[in-house]
Amino acid sequence: MPDQAPAVRERIRALLVDMHGADSFVSAVPDAVSLREAGVSSTSLVSLLVAMEDAFGFEWQDDVRPEALRSISSLAQHVVAVRG
């Protein structure tokens, strides 16, 4: 099975750009950098999580560890894992 993570990361970044605009900082945030430290607010994160549910066809669970929400890379890893 091909590695899905790059495409998922790209899609997550596109969702962030949709929310913040193409000229915003999110278009250049490295995949592994903390979104919080890069300036993504908690409110934006909530919007991103909702958008990810629609985009990838899954639902978040309350027991997701904070580390999974840290960066574009960790979010993508979570998506790949839950999709099997």
Taking CB under 8 A as the binding criterion, the range among 10-18, 19-27, 49-57, 72-80 that sits at the site for other proteins is: 49-57
For other proteins, which residue of 6, 27, 46, 57 counts as binding (CB under 8 A)?
46
Distance CA 34, CA 80 (A): 19
**What is each CA distance from 10 to 14, 32, 62, 63, 65, in whole angstroms?**
6, 13, 25, 25, 22
Task: Please tell me whether residue 60 adopts helix, strand or coil conformation.
Answer: coil
Taking CB under 8 A as the binding criterion, the range among 8-16, 20-28, 46-54, 72-80 that sits at the site for other proteins is: 46-54
What is the binding site for other proteins (CB under 8 A)?
A: 36, 41-43, 45-46, 49-50, 53, 59-62, 64-66, 69
